[in-house]
Structure 1
Amino acid sequence: MSNADHWLKYLTAEGVVVAQSRVKGDWGIEMEQREGTYFHFLAQGTAYFSLDGQPQIKLQPGDVVVLPQGATHQLRSAPQSKVASFADFVRNIQALYSKEPDATIVVCGSFGIDRYMVMPAIKSLPPSIHLQAESNGATAPIAELLKQLRSEVENARMGGKMVVRNLLSTLFIYILRQWSESETAEAGSWFFAMQNRHIAKALACIHQKPGNDWSLDNLAREAGLSRSLFAQQFRESVGETPYGYLTRWRLGIAAQLLAQTDLSIEQIAQKVGYRSEYSFNRAFKKARGRTPTKERERRLSPENGPPIAIV
């Protein structure tokens, strides 16, 4: 098992296709900064992607751009095309819609990631990730996934929403893997920490056994470092204390168990390392703003399922 596998095992990225647009002529969209991780997939034609402070990128068919932190960005038909807000673009889409075989087709969406759980990793990623369809063989699985995504969005079939959610989850993992294997992680980032064998071992302990009674001393022992050196290296590389990371990971696993199992609140509390239901409830509400019971109700609500909007 590689350093990141024990983390990816628990990662879910169920998402939503916000819009699939078939357009021709002069057009442009600006999406303002918003919380979330977004993507644009160019299925056909060409488009230009812009992010403040970075060179404009020409997108070719099969290219995908991911915005891990939801940074403000623009997508346009030509380098100097004027942009409208995403809401205005969707409102006026009929004027741009084209059935012509050479129309540009863009699929836009977001990944429904548990940001509480994976925040250190998301912060470690650059503002945008551009994966080119024809760059090398490593992107072939991503290209195939995107073809499937486009097919599911365009054709309303039984189980389509479930298939789209699964495709997006797999797509995000492929994108993370592709980026981590092709880029050098910056010092002081989560991906850099995963390359430090001492810190990576402690992270693996937390990820794989969140219910253990972990203390700073026994995590340092697992990492093979002194207590003080471990605490220093962990904070410098991960960006928070070992206890802070452990708490957030435990509550992330708990949130998944609330949504995916029928276990009682007390049973979930024990599974993620809390000695009492009371202490678990208090920690969960402090971190996430709602009790475990309310979180379960929210996640299981039919209205909370990610819709698919096709434009």
Structure 2
Amino acid sequence: MGDDALTALLRPLWLIDIFHSVWEAGGAWGVKGHEDSCAIMHHMVRGSCVITFEDDSEPVDLYEGDLAIFPHGTAHSFSAGRGAHTTPLSALVPNVSPGESGLVRVGTPPYGTRMLCASLRYSPLTEPGLYGELPRIIVLRRSMLEGEPLLMSTLGALPSEIGRTAPGARLVALRAFETVFVLSLRVALEQLTEQSPALRVLRHQGISKALMAIHGSYAEPWTVETLARKAGMSRSAFSHQFKDLVGETPMRHLTARRLQEAKRLLSDTPMAQHEIAQRVGYRSQVGFHQAFRKEFDTTPGTFRSEREVERVDESP
């Protein structure tokens, strides 16, 4: 089941470029990252660090050999310890271009901490689909990685591979990092479901099938009954299990997915509203209009107009 869910997670994504770097740190160091539209990876080659987010959530400790994946590029800081002063990432690696590689030093020598970092940029033309269900951070401990020979060997080869200038080196590095990313998600689906509600949902044989249907075919006229059949469960068992794992009813989740896509189409395309309504699964424009207003407290037309104004203001 893990492989099926993993395929559904990654099918809409296409890795198009990457920025990777080796970090060396010493003393009382800290780096404040920013929200980014990519997946981020930190591999602790030597030493340790602390990951913190902008909310009040518990910090995450990374130790030598650990691997942290941020599927959505969620803003976070990494530092020598809790409460450390942080330097903005943009001040340390300004004006970087995809495909570039580099060595970044932060703090003061001796540089006892060494970390391999990467930003994996996916095509903006693809839809997030089931991928959006992943948690903001996935941590694979060294003990987990040691049981994955292909993942370990690829990770071990990355530092030397990214420094090469041989023909095709950039493409090889791109695919090597993508291999690490895919294998890491597979390990997470196999071993971390008890620690993460989001991963537990994706691992559940029946509920994950229903989620794949909702995210991949949201325009279909799904009902609780047809989704339950898709999941291979009775209606009552499916409804109870879905709400328990996902946190909302199947139809509420379907509505949110449809309106999420409608919002994207209103923002990024000139498609007429009645066409958008049909594209996301509404039989009438009135029903679409009412659902959109209830969800976002604004009408589709007003939302589109406001986005057009924002784009004009953002243009040089």
Conserved? CA contact 2:23–2:115, under 8 Å:
yes
Conserved? CA contact 1:269–1:276, under 8 Å:
yes
In structure 2, runs of 5+ residues without a counterpart are: 53-57, 95-103
Q: Which letter maps to 2:63?
A: K
SS of the equivalent of 2:79 reads: strand
Q: Which letter maps to 1:246?
A: L
The aligned residue for residue 41 of structure 1 is: 42
The aligned residue for residue 58 of structure 1 is: 63
Relative contact order higher in (CA < 8 Å, ≥ 6 apart): 1
What's the offset of the Cα at 1:42? 5.0
Aligned equivalent of 2:134, options 108, 113, 121: 121
Conserved? CA contact 1:37–1:68, under 8 Å:
yes
Change beyond 3 A, Cα 1:4–1:252: farther
Identity in percent? 22
The aligned residue for residue 309 of structure 1 is: none
The aligned residue for residue 220 of structure 2 is: 212
Q: What is the TM-score with the length of structure 2 in the denominator?
A: 0.59
The aligned residue for residue 199 of structure 2 is: 191
SS of the equivalent of 2:48 reads: strand
Distance in 1 separating the partners of 2:310 and 2:186: 28
Distance in 1 separating the partners of 2:149 and 2:306: 41
Tell me whether 1:175 sits opposite 2:179 in the alignment: no
The aligned residue for residue 235 of structure 2 is: 227
Counterparts of 1:244-255 in structure 2 under 5 Å? 244-254=252-262
Distance in 2 separating the partners of 1:208 and 1:55: 33
Conserved? CA contact 2:277–2:288, under 8 Å:
yes
Change beyond 3 A, Cα 1:201–1:35: same
Distance in 1 separating the partners of 2:177 and 2:263: 20
Q: 1:5-49 deviations in whole A, cap 9, x for unaligned?
A: 2343235788985x9575565351154897988745359x63412
Distance in 1 separating the partners of 2:196 and 2:24: 42
Higher alpha-carbon deviation: 290-299 or 169-178: 290-299
Aligned residues: 285
Q: Which letter maps to 1:175?
A: S
SS of the equivalent of 2:151 reads: helix
Conserved? CA contact 1:47–1:75, under 8 Å:
no
Distance in 2 separating the partners of 1:32 and 1:172: 20
CA RMSD of aligned residues (A): 5.7
Distance in 1 separating the partners of 2:288 and 2:175: 30
Aligned equivalent of 2:155, options 143, 158, 162: 143
What's the offset of the Cα at 1:167? 8.7
Aligned equivalent of 2:4, options 2, 12, 18: 2
Distance in 2 separating the partners of 1:144 and 1:259: 42
Change beyond 3 A, Cα 1:190–1:11: farther
Distance in 1 separating the partners of 2:192 and 2:249: 24
Conserved? CA contact 1:49–1:56, under 8 Å:
yes
What's the offset of the Cα at 1:198? 2.9
What's the offset of the Cα at 1:149? 9.9
Tell me whether 1:274 sits opposite 2:282 in the alignment: yes
What's the offset of the Cα at 1:232? 0.7
SS of the equivalent of 1:231 reads: helix
Conserved? CA contact 1:36–1:68, under 8 Å:
no
Q: Which letter maps to 1:87?
A: P
Q: What is the TM-score with the length of structure 1 in the denominator?
A: 0.60
Change beyond 3 A, Cα 1:271–1:253: same
Q: 1:48-91 deviations in whole A, cap 9, x for unaligned?
A: 1225868854335xx64224685865433xxx798321329936
Change beyond 3 A, Cα 1:134–1:297: farther
Change beyond 3 A, Cα 1:295–1:247: farther
In structure 1, runs of 5+ residues without a counterpart are: 305-311
Change beyond 3 A, Cα 1:254–1:177: farther
